[in-house]
A and B are shown apart, each in its own frame.
Chain A
Amino acid sequence: MLELGDLCRAAVEAARPGEAVEAFGQEARHTEVKARRGEVEGLTFSESRGIGVRLIAGGRVGFAWAADPSTDEVAATVARARENAALAEPDEFNALPDAASTEPIPALYRAEQADMALDRKVGLALDLERRATSTDPRVTNCDDVVYGDSVSRVAIASTAGVDAGYERTDTWCVVVALAVEGDETQTGFSYRIGRELGELAWEEVADEAVRRAAAMLGATKPASQKVPVVLDPFAGSSFLGVLGGALSAEAVQKGRSLFAERVGEEVGSAAFTLIDDGRELAGPAAAPFDDEGAPTGRTELITAGTLNGFLHNSYTARRGGTISTGNASRGGYRTSPGVGTTNFYVAPGHLSPAELLAKAEGGVLINDVSGVHSGANPISGTFSVGATGWRIGPGGEVGEPLREMTIGSTIPEMLAAVAAVGNDLRFFSSTGVPTILIGEMTVAGV
C-alpha cells in the first residue's frame, strides 16, 4: 500500500504538459464508543482514505475523487478530472497556488492518544454516562453519551511545487441528558473537544448537560415582546456559521453577501470584534496550512464594529487582487476547495456572564436556538429562529425557564445591537463565542 504522500505525488506525475494538477489526500482511523444504562451500547471502528484531484487546463477546472484508490485508479481519477475540465468554462483566475513555506504545529499530534488502548476509551464513555445519570435524581437516562477520537493525516502535492503533509489527533465527548419530572421531559446538551483524552474535562461535560436539562423543567411559553437578550455561548455559536458564510470572499464576489461593498464601514457595535485564526491552538481547527497548502494565519475580520475584509482562498484572492488568508476549505477529499472559516471566534470582553445578566433585567437568557440553518438567510441577513432559555430576574438572577419562543431580527441589526461581550470565550467545534448581551430583540411566544 502506497503511503498517502506517494499516492498524491503519483497523481501529480500523471499531469500532461500544460496541465496543472493538485492531489489532496486524507486518511483517518476513527473510534467511537456509545454508553447507555451502564453498558457499552455501540462500538464503531473505521479505517478510511481517499484522494481528490483538481486539474486545470486552459483556465478550465475539473475535479474527481476516489476512495482508497490503487495506483491504476489514481491515474484513472486524473483522467476523469481531465474529462470534467474539458466541459467547464474557462476562468482566468483558475490556477493552483504556488508552494509556500509553512510552519509545522507539532502539538496537533499526540502519540500517546494515537496508541491508546480501547479499554481506556470504553472506560471514559462509561464514566461519563455514570456521572451524567447519578448527580440529579431527575436525570437517570441520557439520549446520547459518546466518546470519539480520530488519528488522521493530510497530504497535498501539486505541479506548482506544493508537497506537504501533517498528522493530527482529535478527541471529543458528548452528553445529551434527559431530565424528567412528571409528564415532562427536557434535554440538555454539552460537549468538549480536545487533542487527547486527558484534555476533555469530561466531568464538566456530564455536569453541564445535566444542569442544562434540569434547568429547563417547567418551561413555559412567554408573551411576545421586545426585550434585552443574552446569548449564552451555545446559542451564540449557532449564529457564527451564518456570519462565516457572509464573510467569505466567494460569497462577496458572487453577490451573495450582505457585507459586500462595506469594507471600512461600521457593521457592528464597538463591542464586537470577530477573528479567524487558523493557528490558534485553543481551537480545534488549527492546522499548519489550509486545504490547498497555503499557510494559515490570523485575520481580524471585524475590529470594534468596523469591517476590515474577507476570508480568501487562492482563487478569490487572485480574483480580488489580494493574497490568500489561508482559508481554502474542503469537506474532505470528496470536495474541491471553497472558502471556509478555521477557528472563528468573537473576541472576549471584560465582563463576566453574571455582570452581563445584571444589565439585562427583565430580558431573556437564550441557551439554545434551533433552525438557524433554515431560519436565517445569509444573503438578506434576515432570520427568525426557535429558542429556549430563561427569564432574567432582578439583579440578573436567572429566573423561570422558557420554551417555544422565537427570536427574530436581521444580522446587521443584531450586530449593531451588541451591547457587551463576556470574558468567557469558549470554542464549540471550530467556532468560539463568549456570552453576548444584545440590546433588544423581538421574542415571540403567545
Chain B
Amino acid sequence: MSERIDEWFAITPLSFLAICAMMAATYCCRAGGFWLMQHVPLTARVRRGLAALPGSIVMATVIPLMLRGGWPATIGITLAFLTMLKLRNELVALLAGLAAVAAARAAGL
C-alpha cells in the first residue's frame, strides 16, 4: 500500500516543468486574444466572425473526433446531441451518449 501511495505522489522537476509549460501555453492563449483586441478594430465583419466562432470551434473539434472514433462515437455523439435538443439537460444527455458508446462497443461495432 505504501508503495502505491509513493507512486501517487511521484513527481520530478522536469515533469513539473512540463505542467508549467502547458500552463504558460494556455495562459498565452487566454490572455493573447484579449491583448490582440486592444489593437484590432471591432468592425461589423470582425464581430460576425467572432459570433460564429464558438460553434465553429465545437464543430471543428467534434466532427473529426467523431470520424476517428468510428460507429460507437458517431452513434453516441448523435444521440447525446438529440437528447440535449429534446430535454435540455446536460447530465442526462451526456449519460445517454456514454451509454450508447458503451453499448455500441459491447456489440462489437
| Pairing of A with B | no
- A interface residues (Cβ-Cβ under 8 A, vs B): none
